[in-house]
Amino acid sequence: MPGEDPPLFAVEGVSVRFGGVRALEDVSLEVAPHEVLGVIGPNGAGKTTLFNVVCGFVSPAEGELRLRGETIHDLRPHQLAGHGIARTLQGLGLFERMTVLDNVMVGADRLARAGFVRGLLGLGHRDDARLAAKAR
């Protein structure tokens, strides 16, 4: 409708082919702010391929991705992560001798701030308290 805000994220008409195999055909979805969306289906339905497209690991043959109404083209996974778009792999790969909180904080490491000089000199003292609060 006119005047409505665009969805936070949208996949529009995305198709992916691997040789002669159609992994995705004309897939569309929208995610509103504060919405949680699940993708379910049997093995081979294209769920992983869809997530790989969304996260920049696979380029679609057709279709567009939109973030806050703006088409996003050719962004690499690390650039998409800066916009909050990232994925985890299916393996659990937890660090056995670490707490649950520490395992979650490992995933938040890219958000850590040590300061340029302290980081360069390896003096540590990152903002672990802030990261722990975010992880909780």
Residue range 31-57, pLDDT digits in tens: 999 899 999 999 999 999 999 999 998
Distance of CA 65 to the CA centre of its chain: 13
116 confidence band (pLDDT: 50, 70, 90)? low
Q: What is the pTM of this model?
A: 0.65
Name the residue type at position 112: A
Taking only Cα atoms into account, the Rg of the chain, rounded to an integer number of angstroms, comes to: 19
60-99 pLDDT tens trace: 999 999 999 999 877 888 888 888 888 876 666 788 898 9
- What are the distances in angstroms from CA 117 to CA 16, 43, 108, 124? 45, 49, 21, 10
Strand order, beta sheet including 9-18: 21-31, 9-18, 62-67, 70-71
Domain 9-81 sits in which CATH superfamily? P-loop containing nucleotide triphosphate hydrolases (3.40.50.300)
Domain boundaries, the chain: 9-81, 100-135
% of the chain at pLDDT higher than 90 = 43
